[in-house]
Structure 1
Amino acid sequence: MDDMNSPPWLTIVGIGEDGMDGLCAASRTALATAALVMGPARHLALLGGISAPIVEWPVPFADGIARLLAHRGRPVVVVVSGDPFWFGAGSSIARHLAAHEWRAHPAPSTFGLAAARLGWGIQDVACLGLHAAPLERLRPHLAPGARALVLLRDGAAVAGLGAWLSTRGFGASRLHVLESLGGPRERIRSIEAGATMPADIAHPVAVGLEVAGDGPVLPVASGRPDAMFDHDGQITKAPVRALTLSALAPRPGDYLWDIGAGSGSIAIEWLLAHPANRACAVEADPARADRARANARALGVDRLELMVGRAPDLLPDGPMPQAVFIGGGLSQALLERLETLLPPGTRLVANAVTLESEALLALWHGRRGGSLLRIELADAAPLGNRHGWRSRYPVVQWSVTL
C-alpha cells in the first residue's frame, strides 16, 4: 500500500529567466535541502549557490525518466521552465509517479508573461507550443483578427513562421517577437510576417501573432470544402461528409477508426472537431495513404494515425474506438468482424454508392436496426441556354449503435 502520509521525494520547480530571484520561498527551500538537482543545462545555469550535486537532464527527454526514478525516495529537485504543467515537462514526469510522490512549484509561464506584456486576455487567444511540432498546427487558428501565442525553438523558427504565413496568404500578420521574457535580456519587437526577420533573436522566444491577410480560412463546421483536401476523386464529398460527421457524433476525447480512408477527410474532420480526439485511418492504397497523411499535416492534425492495408485483414491494435466509419472496402466479412470485435455502445456508420453495397447495408439494417438514410443531391448545371439539375450518385448511409 502506498504511504500517503510520507512527504514527496520529488519537487518540480519552475524557473524563469530571472533565475533564483524569481523563485518562491518553497522552491528555494526545496533546492537548499535537495540531495540531487536535475534539469536541462539552460535551467541549471540559472541557479546559484546550490550545494547539492547537479545532473544535466539528457536529450531526448524520455531518457531522463529512468535516471530520475533511480533516485526514488531521496529528496530530488527537477528544474524546468516556467509553469511545469503548461506545455512543460511536468505531466511527462508525473505520469510515472504516484500522486503522493511529487509536488510542484510553478513560476509564471511564458504564455502568462507574453499576455501580460501585450495586454491580451490569455483566455481569448490560442496557446501553442511548437518547439518540436510543425507550424501547420497553427492552420485551424488562421483567421483575420485571431490571436495566438506561440512558443518556438529559436530565431530561425521565427523566420520560418513568417515565411510559412506569407506563403499561405497571411503575410500581413503582425508578429510580436518576445525574447527572454522575465529576465535581464528581455526584448520585444514587432514586425510584419512578410518582412525580413532580425538575425539576432535570442532564445527562449515566443511570438504573439495577430492574424491578417486574405489566405483561406479553415471553417469550424464539418463538411469543409473539398478543395481543402488533396485527393484523386476518392473523397467523401462535403455535403455527405457533413451528414457523416453528424452521424458519427464526435465527442471530446473520442477515438475513430476510418476504414477505407481515401483522402482522410472524415478522420481529419473528426480530429478538427476537438483537440483531444484521436483517429486511425486504414487505407489499402499506399499513394492514397500518403495523401491522407499529407492532408492531415497540412490542416493541422498531424496526430492522425495511419495504417496501410485492407480491412478486415488489417485493423488497429490497442484501445477500441468509440466510433467506426466505413467509407471504402465495405464487405460482409468486414461487418461480421466488426460485429464480433467492437464493444457494445460503439457507433458504426457506413456509406455505400453501389447497388451491391446498398443491398448489404439494407440486410444489416434489418439485422441490427439503426438508421438507413438515402442521400440524393443535385447541382445546378447549364442546360442549353438555361440551367437544370444534374444529379450526383446517391449515397446510402447506415448508422447504428452496436
Structure 2
Amino acid sequence: MITVVGTGTGTGTGVEAGAFGPGAPSWQGVRLAVGARRHLEAADPPPGVRRLVLGPLAPALDAVERQLSEDGGPVVVLASGDPGFFGIVRSLAERFGPEALDIRPTAPSVAVAFARAGLPWDDAAVVSAHGRDPRTAVNVCRAHPKTAVLTGPGAGPAELGAALAATGLPRTLVVASALGTADERVERLSPAEAATRAWPGEVSVVLCLDTSRALAPAPLALAGPRRPPAGWALPEDAFAHRDSMITKYEVRALALARLGPRPGDLVWDVGAGSGSVAVECARLGAAAVAVERTADGAERCRANAAAHGVDLQTVHGTAPGVLAGLPEPDAVFVGGGGRELEAIVAACALRARRTVVVTLAALDRVPAVRAALGAAGLAADGVLLQSSRLAPLPGDVVRLAAGNPVFVLWGTRPGTEGASS
C-alpha cells in the first residue's frame, strides 16, 4: 500500500514533526518515505524508515516499486496540499493502479491562496506552470480575469509579471509564499512590481486578477472560468466597424475553424480593423492581440473588446515591423491586403507555432501568399469562399444576394494538427 499524504498548507491535517497529523496513519510498518526535502524534514520519519528525497520522478517511482516488491512494506509519499490536484497521484495511479493508493489530502494551495485573498475560487481558471511551458500560464492570465498559477522554476512571479506588464491589461498579482508555515507571506502588487523582485523558492501560488471582475456576476453551477459561447461567427452588426470594413461572418466562421483558438493559446489578428476575429478568439478562451496601423482602428478594437466583455491587447503599429516585439503566437490571422502582404505573411509564418490564416480578395496575390506559407515550412491549403445571403423582397419573399468572393488561405505546421495546448 502507498499512503499519499498532503502537507504544507497549515490546515492541521498533514504531517507534523515525528508523526502524521490527525486522521492520518502512523509510521508503524513503514519502510520508505518519499518527498521533497522540506516535507521529509517536517515529517521527521523515525529510525528505520528510509528517506528518499524526491527529484526526477521516474527514479522515485522505481524505488517505490522495488520497496513494494521486496517486502511489501507500506510506503509513504509526502506532497504539498492536495496531491490529487496537479500532483503526484496521477503518476502513482498510472504506475501502481488506484487500488494501491491511500490518499490523505489537505487543502490545495490554490484554495488557501484564494482564502487568504478573501475570494471564492469556483470561478477561477487554474493552470500549472510547474514543469510545463510557462507561456500557457501567461496566456491564460491574459485571457481570464481570475487565474491561479501553480509556479515552477522559470515560471514564478517575476517571469509572470514581466510577461503581463507588457500587455497593458489591468492585472493585479497576489503572490502567496510558504503557505501554511511560519514564514507565510501574501502580497498584492502590480505585474511590473513583481517583475523587478527576487522571489524565494517557496512561492506556492500566484493569483492573477482583474480586481474589477474578481467575482462572478452570478452563482455558478459548473466550476471554472466562464464557458465559451455556444456560437461564433457573430453578425457584422455585433461590432463597430467603418464602411463595412469587417471580416464577413461566413469568412470569419471558416477562419476561426482553421485558427482553432482555445484556452492557453495566443492568437494575433494582424490588420485587425474592427478586431472582430481577435474578439471572437478571446470569446473562445484564447489570449488575443489585435494589431492595427490606424489610431481610430485600434480604438475601435478596444471598444469592441469592451462591448463583448473580453480582454484584448491592442497594438497600434504597422506590420510587419511591429510584430517583432510581440510574444510568439500559436495562430495568426492576417486580414486585408496592401503592398506589404507577402512580407507580413512571411513574418507571421515564421513565428506561428501552429497555423496562419490569410483572407484576401485579389487573385493575383494568392501565389505569393502560398509561397510565403510554404517557405516557412507550413503546409498550405485554401478555398475560394463565395456565399449568397437571404435578402427580403416586397411581398414577404426573399432572394439570394451574392457577396464578394474571398480567398481563405491557411498554412499548418506539420505535426500540430489537433495537438493539445
Q: TM-score with structure 2 length normalisation?
A: 0.52
| CA RMSD across the alignment | 4.4
Counterpart among 15, 19, 25 of residue 20 in structure 1 = 15
1:394 & 1:135 partners in 2: Cα distance? 32
| Percent of aligned pairs sharing the same letter | 24
1:48 & 1:391 partners in 2: Cα distance? 74
Q: 1:28-177 to 2 correspondence within 5 Å?
A: 28-29=25-26, 31-51=27-47, 52-59=49-56, 61-73=57-69, 74=72, 75-132=74-131, 133-142=133-142, 146-153=145-152, 157-170=156-169, 172-177=170-175
Q: Deviations over 1:48-77 (max 9, x none)?
A: 243311122232x23422232222352111
Counterpart among 253, 256, 275 of residue 243 in structure 1 = 253
> Alpha carbons of 1:64 and 1:238: their partners in 2 closer, same or farther (altered >3 Å)?
farther
Q: Is the 8 A contact 2:173 2:206 kept in 1?
A: yes
1:157 & 1:140 partners in 2: Cα distance? 15
Structure 2 counterpart of 1:257: none
Q: Is the 8 A contact 2:349 2:355 kept in 1?
A: no
Per-residue deviation, 1:289: 6.7
Deviates more, 1:61-70 or 1:237-246: 237-246
Q: Deviations over 1:58-117 (max 9, x none)?
A: 32x234222322223521111111101111111122112223222211111101111211
Per-residue deviation, 1:393: 2.5
> Alpha carbons of 1:203 and 1:109: their partners in 2 closer, same or farther (altered >3 Å)?
same
Q: Is the 8 A contact 1:36 1:76 kept in 2?
A: yes
Q: 1:213-224 to 2 correspondence within 5 Å?
A: none
> Alpha carbons of 1:242 and 1:70: their partners in 2 closer, same or farther (altered >3 Å)?
farther
Q: Deviations over 1:123-154 (max 9, x none)?
A: 0111121123314434244358x122212126
Structure 1 counterpart of 2:397: none
Q: Deviations over 1:272-294 (max 9, x none)?
A: 9689xxxx99xxx9998753317
Structure 2 counterpart of 1:391: 404
Q: Is the 8 A contact 2:129 2:149 kept in 1?
A: yes
1:113 & 1:310 partners in 2: Cα distance? 45
Q: Deviations over 1:282-336 (max 9, x none)?
A: xxx999875331779xxxxxxxxxxx9898xxxxxxxxxxxxxxxx45xxxxxxx
SS in 1 for 2:55: coil
For structure 1, list consecutive stretches of 5 or more residues without a partner in the other structure: 1-8, 214-218, 225-236, 253-265, 297-307, 312-327, 330-350, 354-372, 378-388, 397-402
Number of residue equivalences? 265
Structure 2 counterpart of 1:189: 187
Letter in 2 for 1:293: R
1:134 & 1:160 partners in 2: Cα distance? 9
Per-residue deviation, 1:164: 0.8
Q: Is the 8 A contact 1:17 1:46 kept in 2?
A: no
SS in 2 for 1:13: strand
SS in 1 for 2:157: helix
Structure 2 counterpart of 1:292: 352
SS in 1 for 2:139: helix
Structure 1 counterpart of 2:203: 204
1:201 & 1:79 partners in 2: Cα distance? 21
> Alpha carbons of 1:165 and 1:212: their partners in 2 closer, same or farther (altered >3 Å)?
farther
Is residue 352 from structure 1 mapped to residue 383 from structure 2 by the alignment? yes
Q: Is the 8 A contact 1:151 1:205 kept in 2?
A: yes
SS in 2 for 1:194: helix
1:270 & 1:68 partners in 2: Cα distance? 45
2:155 & 2:284 partners in 1: Cα distance? 32
For structure 2, list consecutive stretches of 5 or more residues without a partner in the other structure: 213-226, 235-246, 263-276, 287-329, 332-344, 357-375, 390-401, 410-421
Letter in 2 for 1:36: L
Per-residue deviation, 1:212: 6.7
Letter in 2 for 1:153: G
Q: Deviations over 1:243-274 (max 9, x none)?
A: 348989x9x9xxxxxxxxxxxxx9xx999968
